[in-house]
Structure 1
Amino acid sequence: MLDGRDKKIIDYLQRDAAVPVADLADTVGLSVSACWRRIKNLEDSGLIARRVVLVDRRKANVAMTVFVAVRTSRHSIGWLDTFREVIGAIPEIVEAYRLTGEMDYLLRLVVPSVEVYDTVYKELISKLDFMDVSSFISMEELKFTTAVPMNYI
C-alpha cells in the first residue's frame, strides 16, 4: 500500500525523473536513504515501470502527429499477431490501441511530413489487408502528458 510520500515521489518523478534524490528527499520530507529505498521499492514492485527521456519532437524533426483509425474484416489471433509484428517494426508508430466500437485499432504516428506518412501508410497496406484506414492529422496539441494520476491508488 502506498502512502502520501510514495505518491508525492511518483508525482515528482513523473515530472522530472532526473531530479537528484537529495532534492526529492527534501521535497517529500525524507532522508536521502529512506527516499532512495522507497524509489527502489516502487521500481521493484513494477509501479515505476521505467525511467525514460522525453524527446522534443520538433527538434527531432517529427513534429507532425497523425492518428490512424483502422478497420479490418479479419478478427483472428493470427491476423492480430501479424499486425502487432508489422506495427512494432515501424518506428513512426509510437502508440497503438485495440478498440471497441466502429474502429478496430487506433494508431498514433509522429512524422516530419505527409510524404513520410504516405510511405508508412503504403508499408502498412502492403503487409496487411484492411477494410478501412482513416487518417487524421493533428492541427494542434492541446494537452500531452505521460503522467498518470496518483489519486486512484
Structure 2
Amino acid sequence: MDRIDLQILKILQDDATVTVAEISSRVALSATPCWKRIQKMETLGILKKRVALLCAPKVGLGLTVHISIQAGDHSSEKLDDFVRAVQAMPEVLEFSRLAGEVDYALKVVTSDISAYDDFYKRLTAIMPLRNVTSHFELQKIKSTTALPLDLAAGAAPEIRESFGRPVERVVALRPV
C-alpha cells in the first residue's frame, strides 16, 4: 500500500459519498487508476463497505450499554450456540471474544432501561453465564470509525504486500 492508497482510504473514511473524480483530484491521480485502486481495495477486503453513520439518540436509541460476559460453560457446542444467538440480536452493535477474565464484550443500543431489561433477559436465557456486567454510557467522549492511517506503516506485512509494492513505500499521511 502506498501513499496514494492511504490518502484514498483517508478520504473515504471521512466521507464515503465523495466522487471518484473528487478523490482523484485530491490525490493527484486520474480517475481511472483511482477507481481501479478503490476496486482493488474492495476486492481485497480492505474497504469492507460504505455506510451512513446515524445519531442513535435522534433515531430513538438513546441508551448505549457496554457488557462484559464470563461464560459459565466453555464447551465448543454451547459457545457456538451462544455466539449465533447473540449475533442475531439486533441491539448488538459490536460483539468480541476476548482473552483474560472476560470472555465476551458487547456494545448494545436500546431505547431505554426497560428495553435494555428485556434484552438482558433474552441474553441471559441463552445459556448459563457466570457473570454479566453492564456499564451504562453516560457521555460519549470520543467516537470514530476512522482508522488512524498515519500509523499504517506498522500495518501487517500481508496487507502491504497484497498491493505488490515494497514495504519501504508505505509512508505516513499528510493532511489533504
Q: For the superposition of Structure 1 and Structure 2, which TM-score range results when normalised by the shorter chain?
A: over 0.9
User: What is aligned with 2:47?
Assistant: 48
Which ranges of structure 1 fall in alignment gaps of 5 or more residues?
Answer: none
- Tell me the SS of whatever aligns to 1:69: strand
Task: Identify the residue that residue 129 of structure 1 maps to in structure 2.
Answer: 128
Q: SS in structure 1 opposite 2:96?
A: strand
Secondary structure class of the residue paired with 1:70:
strand
Deviates most, 114-123 or 98-107: 98-107
Q: Equivalent residue for 1:148?
A: 147
How much is the aligned-residue C-alpha RMSD, in angstroms? 1.2
Work out the CA distance in 2 between the residues paired with 1:84 and 1:52.
25
Q: Equivalent residue of 2:109, what SS?
A: strand
Q: Counterparts of 1:51-130 in structure 2 under 5 Å?
A: 51-130=50-129
1:149 Cα offset (Å): 2.3
Output the CA distance in 1 between the equivalents of 2:29 and 2:97.
42
Post-superposition CA distance 1:96-117 (Å, at most 9, x none): 1111222111111011111111
Identity of aligned residues (%): 36
Looking at structure 2, the residues matched to 86 and 44 of structure 1 have their Cα atoms a distance apart, in angstroms, of 29
Deviations 1:103-144 (A, max 9, x none): 111111011111111000001112211111111001111111
- Normalising by structure 2, we get a TM-score of 0.82
In structure 2, give the amino acid aligned to 1:96: F
Give yes or no for the alignment of 1:15 onto 2:14: yes
Secondary structure in 2 matching 1:58: helix
Is the helix fraction higher in 1 or 2? Answer: 2
Corresponding residue pairs, total: 152
Cα distance in 2 for partners of 1:85, 1:78 equals 11
Runs of 4+ in 1 over 4 A off after TM superposition: none
Give the structure-1-normalised TM-score. Answer: 0.94
Deviation at 1:73, TM superposition (A): 2.2
